[in-house]
């Protein structure tokens, strides 16, 4: 069986042991679906990744919190996750909600390398207000102080919390609850890597309670205009990076690949080198929309340094998230003004 085929195989396992414990206490707990996709949370120093049901079976504490159903969607390091995988996962989340009115929420376990992209994609395409929590781990399953089990447990606790509804997709690690749109992976190694430096966390999964502090105002989930039900593939969008001494050669190469859109990573405030400005003109001549995303994490791009250059401003989205939004935006429009409105709304 090829790894790709393996990934495509859906494995549905009701964890009768876990669910049984809840029932034995006389009070059936609400149901949470755990969708597993691989990542460090499923990895060991030696040997293959743990399958989804085994991952969940290794956290018996879940039985006190919810009735768990687990389904393995794929089993890969998230550096290998593709837009086709985002679509497949998003459709599965939507179909799970559509067919299970009693389902309380969904937890997605995922590698942390591209967790920001997947979580933001789901934030824009899930069509249900019930909680979707994305979680993972920075330490492998067999490392001292592995953080995976606590993160999954807290993810399920959040998914079971009534107040978690309507916040959009949540990223829960290290007891913090972040909005998928705002979360940044900020450390290469440490367990507290997922910060929300611009806007702060939405809440916390404290040991005694799950608490929300605030609500994100940007559109998401049920207020999103993006419908992936009838979409089989997403538009190709390239990322080109400006830098000191950039000469725009890479933009020529990118344009030759005929992408539907390009994200151009700029300096602070959306400022571009002479090569970066030439790159915008190259893309414009090929009729390819360019979204400018700052390489600096704090603040927003407000336009003035770019004058009347034909670009869309990513505001405070980093390039990798701007690419996700542009791929979805291109399902609706390729017109610059309309694209800017989309970037201002999400």
- Catalytic positions: 40
With the CA atoms of 287, 293, 294 and 296 taken in that order, what torsion angle do they form, in degrees rounded to the nearest 10? -160
Smallest separation, CB 219 to ligand ASP (Å): 28
Cβ proximity to ligand ASP: between 113 and 163 the closer is 113
Cβ proximity to ligand ASP: between 80 and 341 the closer is 80
Smallest separation, CB 191 to ligand ASP (Å): 10
Tokens of 23: 């029932």
**H-only helix segments in the chain:** 3-8, 16-24, 52-57, 83-99, 115-125, 148-159, 249-256, 274-285, 319-329, 336-345
Interacting positions 326-345 with ligand ASP (CB under 6 A): none
Tally of CB atoms within 10 A around 207: 9
Instruction: Choose the binding region for ligand ASP from 72-80, 172-180, 211-219, 296-304 (rule: CB under 6 A).
Output: 72-80
Q: Does 259 bind ligand ASP (CB under 6 A)?
A: no
The vertex-139 CA angle with 135 and 141, nearest 5°, equals 85
Cβ proximity to ligand ASP: between 78 and 161 the closer is 78
Cβ proximity to ligand ASP: between 183 and 254 the closer is 183
Q: How far is CA 13 from CA 4, 70, 226, 324, in A?
A: 21, 6, 31, 31
Instruction: Choose the binding region for ligand ASP from 17-25, 53-61, 108-116, 174-182 (rule: CB under 6 A).
Output: 108-116
Smallest separation, CB 23 to ligand ASP (Å): 33
Cβ proximity to ligand ASP: between 18 and 122 the closer is 122
Counting residues that bind ligand ASP (by CB under 6 A) gives 10
Smallest separation, CB 50 to ligand ASP (Å): 13
Q: Does 138 bind ligand ASP (CB under 6 A)?
A: yes
Q: Looking at the DSSP assignment, which residues form a beta bridge with residue 86?
A: none
Asked if residue 165 lies in contact with residue 140, where contact means CB atoms within 8 angstroms, the answer is: no
What distance in Å separates the CA atoms of residue 24 and residue 102, rounded to the nearest whole number? Answer: 20
Smallest separation, CB 195 to ligand ASP (Å): 15
Q: Does 136 bind ligand ASP (CB under 6 A)?
A: yes
Asked if residue 15 lies in contact with residue 54, where contact means CB atoms within 8 angstroms, the answer is: no
Judged by DSSP in three states, 72 sits in strand
**Near ligand ASP by CB under 6 A: residue from 67, 94, 109, 112:** 112
Interacting positions 33-62 with ligand ASP (CB under 6 A): 39-40
Smallest separation, CB 41 to ligand ASP (Å): 6
**Near ligand ASP by CB under 6 A: residue from 8, 9, 10, 79:** 79
Tokens of 111: 């590698």
Asked if residue 343 lies in contact with residue 312, where contact means CB atoms within 8 angstroms, the answer is: yes
**Near ligand ASP by CB under 6 A: residue from 36, 50, 78, 174:** 78
The vertex-231 CA angle with 324 and 102, nearest 5°, equals 90
Which residues lie near ligand ASP (CB under 6 A)?
39-40, 77-79, 111-113, 136, 138
């Amino acid at each position: 069986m090829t790894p790709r085929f393996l990934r495509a195989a859906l494995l549905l396992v009701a964890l009768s042991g876990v669910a049984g414990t809840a029932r034995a206490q006389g009070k059936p707990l609400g149901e949470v679906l755990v969708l597993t996709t691989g990542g460090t949370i499923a990895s060991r120093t030696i040997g293959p990744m743990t399958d989804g049901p085994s991952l969940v079976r290794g956290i018996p504490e879940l039985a006190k919190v919810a009735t768990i159903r687990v389904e393995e969607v794929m089993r890969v390091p998230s550096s290998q996750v593709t837009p086709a995988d985002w679509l497949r996962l998003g459709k599965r989340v939507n179909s799970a909600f559509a067919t299970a009115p009693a389902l309380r929420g969904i937890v997605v376990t995922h590698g942390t390398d591209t967790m920001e992209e997947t979580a933001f994609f789901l934030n824009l395409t899930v069509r249900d207000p019930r909680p979707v929590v994305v979680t993972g781990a920075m330490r492998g399953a067999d490392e001292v102080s592995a953080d995976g089990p606590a993160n999954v447990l807290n993810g399920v606790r959040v998914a079971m919390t009534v107040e978690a509804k309507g916040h959009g997709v949540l990223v829960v690690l290290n007891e913090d609850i972040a909005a998928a749109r705002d979360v940044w992976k900020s450390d290469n190694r440490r367990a507290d890597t997922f910060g929300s430096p611009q806007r702060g966390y939405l809440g916390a999964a404290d040991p005694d309670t799950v608490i929300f502090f605030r609500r994100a105002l940007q559109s998401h989930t049920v207020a999103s205009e993006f419908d992936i039900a009838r979409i089989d593939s997403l538009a190709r969008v390239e990322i080109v990076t400006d830098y000191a001494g950039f000469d725009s050669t890479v933009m020529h190469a990118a344009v030759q690949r005929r992408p539907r859109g390009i994200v151009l990573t700029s300096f602070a405030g959306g400022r571009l080198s002479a090569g970066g400005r030439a790159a915008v003109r190259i893309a414009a001549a090929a009729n390819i929309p360019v979204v400018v995303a700052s390489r600096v994490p704090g603040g927003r791009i407000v336009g003035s340094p770019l004058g009347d250059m034909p670009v869309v401003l990513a505001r405070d989205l980093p390039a990798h998230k701007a690419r996700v939004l542009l791929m979805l935006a291109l399902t609706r429009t390729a017109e610059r003004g309309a694209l800017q409105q989309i970037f201002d709304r999400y």
